[in-house]
Amino acid sequence: MIELIDLTKIYRGIRAVDGLNLRVGEGRVFGFLGPNGAGKTTTIRMMAGVLKPTSGRILIAGKDLARDPSAVKRCVGFIPDRPFVYEKLTGLEFLHFVGSLYGLADGSETERRIGRLMETFELTNWGDELVESYSHGMKQRLVMCSALLHEPRVLIVDEPMVGLDPKAARLVKNLFRGQAGKGVTVFMSTHSLEVAEEVCDEIAIIRSGKVIAQGDAASLRAQAGVDGSLERVFFTLTEEGRAVHG
């Protein structure tokens, strides 16, 4: 469903993403882990079509993002780490606006989807409020509604848990598993190893723009040659743990 081929991004001579190769199958929840500055957000922004790669290809649902961006974006839902939205629109207006951008027909089906998502994300009472009055977590939930509105086949999520309270975080975890159950591929970056272990079918660890380990939790433990928590595995693989764990 998602294929990254030799994906590279160079910023002012620095290789933020360095020849990345990944394949993620349909209906999988894929976790993308790495320390700060490893290239996670850059990769995700390239996959969402917000950033242009220096070289390499991004194939989603069999289509090349560079060749047919509109077709690819139509089947992708993107949730960025910082939920900046139009502050002067109400929540409902924003969702209708996004629906129009993704080519949803104005009608009862769109209304039904919006109503259901607002209810799922507990925003029903806030639909007529300007987004500027929302808290960070509410904005994040609104952005999730907008990403799911056109029923995408792929969800690309950057740091989904930032700013969410425990209840909302649980809701999101269930949502990702539920979406995967319906055949949606979820590609998410996260700092939270607990979330990665709990939700993801497969995890890739990235450092300096390159994947250094990939597989399920058990396979990562094997690659790192350590037992115990995923945190220990992560530190061993990224070599950051030496100072911490001694």
Partner 1 sequence: MGDLAVLLGVRFRASLNRMWRAGPGRRKRIIVMGVLGAAFLFGLFLVSCRVLRYFQSVELIGDLLAHQLLGMILLTFFSLLLFSHVISALSNLYLSRDLEFCHATPVSLEGLFLSRFSLTLADSSWMPLIFGIPVFLAYGFVYRPPLIFYWSLVHLNVAMAMIAGGLGVLITMVLVYVFPARRTRDIVMLMVLFMVGVLYVLFRMLRPERMVDPDAFFTIAHYVSSLRGPEWEFLPTHWATEVLWSQLTGGSGGRRALYTALSWTTAGVMVVINVWAAGALYFEGFSKSQEAKRKRLGGRARPGRVQKGLGRLLGRDMAACMVKELRCFLRDNTQWTQLLLLAALVVVYVFNFEALPLDKSPIRLDFLLNELAFLNLALAGFVLSAVSARFVFPSVSSEGRAYWIVRSSPMGLSRFVLGKYLTFLAPMMVLGEILTLLTDWLLEVSPFMMALSGVTMLFMVCGIVALGIGMGAMYPKFDHENIAQVATGFGGVMFMIVSALFIGLVIVLEAGPVYLLFRAQAGGIRLGPGLRLFIAASLAAVVLVNGAAVYYPLKKGIGALRNHE
Judged by the rule CB under 8 A, the positions of this chain that interact with partner 1 are: 48-52, 69-71, 73-74, 76, 78, 80, 82, 84-86, 88-90, 92-93, 95-98, 100-103, 106, 111, 127-130, 132-133, 146
Q: What is the Cα–Cα distance from 212 to 238, expressed in whole angstroms?
A: 8
- Residue matched to tokens 């993107």: 78
Q: Are 8 and 53 in contact (CB under 8 A)?
A: yes
Angle among Cα 59, 216, 47 to the nearest 5 degrees reads 25
Closest CA relative to residue 100, chosen from 155, 149, 171, 45: 149
Shortest distance, position 82 Cβ to partner 1, whole Å: 7
Shortest distance, position 226 Cβ to partner 1, whole Å: 38
145 alpha-carbon distance from chain centroid: 14
Shortest distance, position 189 Cβ to partner 1, whole Å: 15
Shortest distance, position 225 Cβ to partner 1, whole Å: 39
Question: Which phi and psi (to 5°) does residue 100 adopt?
Answer: -65, -40
Cβ proximity to partner 1, 76 vs 203, nearer residue: 76
Number of neighbours of residue 71 by Cβ within 10 angstroms:
14
Q: What is the Cα–Cα distance from 42 to 109, expressed in whole angstroms?
A: 35
Cβ proximity to partner 1, 51 vs 226, nearer residue: 51
Q: Cα–Cα distances in Å, from 244 out to 15, 220, 239?
A: 27, 20, 10
Shortest distance, position 160 Cβ to partner 1, whole Å: 15
Shortest distance, position 61 Cβ to partner 1, whole Å: 13
Cβ proximity to partner 1, 100 vs 174, nearer residue: 100
Number of neighbours of residue 97 by Cβ within 10 angstroms:
13
